[in-house]
Amino acid sequence: MPSSAPASRSTVRAVDAVALQRVRVRMAAAQPPWLHGEVARRMAERLAVIRMRPARVLDWWPASGASAEVLRRAYPDAGRRGVWPDGLPLPPPPPRRWWSPRRWAAADDTALLSAEAVGAGACELLWANMTLHWCADPEAEMRRWHAALAVDGFLMFSTLGPGTLEGLREIYRAQGWGAAHAPFVDMHDLGDMLLEAGFADPVMDQETLTLTWRDAAAMLAELRALGANVDPARHAGLRTPRWRDALAHALAAACRAGDARAALGFEIVYGHAVRPRPRPRVAAETAVGLEEMRTMLRNRPDH
């Protein structure tokens, strides 16, 4: 007799986990790309429509998010902490001289904690700029964000969408070079994942930013700063200098056919959602845990 249980649903992306971790390590040790800082600025503009003033802010993966300054300007009185990626050791704190005025600052932007150490309800705003496309399981990451948020707290995140690097993919297809990069998750699928993770009122939107460079060599250097190819179907083994020259030639030919400058488009997906008050699932018989019951009672409208 067939089971009536719903089929299991996997949200794990097809990525090379080892290569993905290498990218995380490299990007955590490098300066954040210019694109990340620009997206942080654009995402911060969306904060103007949110009335809530968070007292605690978690900046998820601050090393590559380039968001410290925009968060400081938006919420100067909030306590801000950075959350470091899984599997990466926390960097040592920078040395401080005793006369530094930052020693007496109420909000310490350099304070870091590991993702595993984030407690439940640790913030009213969780900010994750340009990090989700480096997660093998985006919905699992969203569940962690949900747990870290206090009730009525809100999430702001950005990530790359599937419209990113279409010009590069066309060159790879034409040359028969395999996958140019791992696929990115569609905006609508991300919205569904937010709901599955427990968030409410998700708002998704996107825009395409076109970056230009003086030549193909500058473009390739910027692409390396933005990440790497972690698709399992990518070319096996190391590429040769001859292949790199062929790629540069193909990029230069594409530029001559267009604006004479190297250019690529990046689809930026923005997401916003809130952690709602917990509600028990209605059924013929409903079991509610003790902690969940306490949370519901604490957040009753008449309290």
The predicted-structure confidence for 86-128, as pLDDT tens digits, reads as follows 888 888 766 655 555 444 333 345 588 989 899 999 999 999 9
Q: What is the Cα–Cα distance from 88 to 74, expressed in whole angstroms?
A: 29
Q: What is the Cα–Cα distance from 238 to 230, expressed in whole angstroms?
A: 13
pLDDT score at 101: 47
For tokens 């919205």, the residue is 191
Least confident of 106-110, 196-200, 204-208, 294-298: 106-110
pLDDT score at 249: 87
pLDDT score at 107: 39
Q: What is the mean pLDDT of the chain?
A: 86
pLDDT score at 284: 55
Q: Is 58 helix (H, G, I), strand (E, B) or coil?
A: strand
| Residue 303 · residue 233 · CB < 8 Å | no
Q: What is the mean pLDDT of residues 244-272?
A: 84
pLDDT score at 287: 62
Q: What is the Cα–Cα distance from 250 to 28, expressed in whole angstroms?
A: 31
Taking only the tens place, the pLDDT of each residue in 48-78 is 999 999 999 999 999 999 999 999 999 999 9
Q: What is the Cα–Cα distance from 291 to 197, expressed in whole angstroms?
A: 19
Which tops the pLDDT comparison, 180 or 101? Answer: 180
Q: At residue 255, does pLDDT exceed 90? A: no
pLDDT score at 25: 92
Q: What is the mean pLDDT of residues 285-294?
A: 60
pLDDT score at 237: 81
pLDDT score at 261: 77
Least confident of 99-108, 184-193, 200-209: 99-108
Least confident of 136-145, 162-171, 242-251: 242-251
Q: What is the Cα–Cα distance from 64 to 27, expressed in whole angstroms?
A: 6
Kindly give, in sequence order, each residue whose CB lies less than 8 Å from that of residue 27, ignoring residues fewer than 6 positions away.
63, 64, 134, 227
Which tops the pLDDT comparison, 216 or 190? Answer: 190
Instruction: Tell me the C-alpha to C-alpha distance, in Å, between residue 86 and each of 10, 28, 124, 150.
Output: 20, 11, 22, 21
* Crossing angle between the packed helical segments 138-148 and 187-196, to the nearest 10 degrees: 50
Q: What is the mean pLDDT of residues 11-21?
A: 91
Burial of residue 296 (number of CB atoms within 10 Å: 0-12, 13-18, 19+): middle
Which tops the pLDDT comparison, 216 or 35? Answer: 35
Q: Is 128 helix (H, G, I), strand (E, B) or coil?
A: strand
Q: What is the mean pLDDT of residues 177-197?
A: 96
Domains and CATH numbers, the chain: 17-162+183-208+268-298 (3.40.50.150)
Instruction: Tell me the C-alpha to C-alpha distance, in Å, between residue 3 and each of 8, 9, 283, 285.
Output: 12, 15, 20, 21
pLDDT score at 50: 93
Q: What is the Cα–Cα distance from 61 to 91, expressed in whole angstroms?
A: 12
Confidence of residue 211 (pLDDT cuts 50, 70, 90): very high
Q: What is the mean pLDDT of residues 138-164?
A: 97
Kind plus residue range of the DSSP H or E element containing 295 = helix 290-298
Q: At residue 220, does pLDDT exceed 60? A: yes
pLDDT score at 258: 56
- Write out the two tokens for 212: 């230009």
